[in-house]
């Protein structure tokens, strides 16, 4: 069963515009949710996790249990935000489930 869904494979926004990368999950317990990012020719790395309630590089993500969503948002996109973004869920067994990823392009 698909636990993490990222409906957009590709997303393009203009520099300075708001951006939202969607993530929906399916899990009956209390999940731990993450966003990972892979910049061009770099390794996959953690961007943020919901338990930290932090803002990294201007990005935030709020866990909405009612809508089972964990969308990633940034009010003003920058060119350096162009990358591949993966939403991930971890269950109580420490197994991780990643979405298929969204490729974000910020147009100058």
Please give the residue ranges that form the binding site for other proteins (CB under 8 A).
4, 6, 9, 32, 43-46, 49, 51, 86, 88, 90-101
User: At closest approach, how far in Å is the CB of 43 from other proteins?
Assistant: 5
What sections of the chain are H helices per DSSP?
Answer: none
For residue 69, give the 3-state DSSP assignment.
strand
| Of 9 and 14, CB closest to other proteins | 9
**Cα(10)–Cα(104) distance, rounded to whole angstroms?**
6
| Of 20 and 96, CB closest to other proteins | 96
State residue 42 phi and psi, 5-degree precision.
Answer: -125, 170
* Contact status, residue 88 vs residue 31, Cβ threshold 8 Å: no
User: At closest approach, how far in Å is the CB of 23 from other proteins?
Assistant: 12
Handedness of CA 7, 103, 30, 96 (dihedral sign): positive
| Of 13 and 34, CB closest to other proteins | 34
User: At closest approach, how far in Å is the CB of 19 from other proteins?
Assistant: 20
User: At closest approach, how far in Å is the CB of 81 from other proteins?
Assistant: 19
């Amino acid at each position: 069963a698909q636990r993490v869904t990222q409906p957009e494979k590709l997303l393009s926004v203009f520099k300075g515009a708001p951006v939202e990368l969607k993530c929906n999950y399916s899990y009956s317990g209390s999940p731990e949710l993450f966003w990972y990012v892979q910049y061009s020719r770099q390794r996959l790395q953690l961007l943020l996790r919901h338990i930290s309630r932090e803002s990294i590089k201007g990005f935030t993500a709020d866990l909405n249990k009612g809508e089972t969503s964990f969308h990633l948002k940034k009010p003003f996109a920058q060119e350096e935000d162009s990358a591949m973004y993966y939403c991930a869920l971890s269950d109580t067994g420490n197994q991780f489930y990643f979405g298929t990823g969204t490729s974000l392009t910020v147009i100058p």
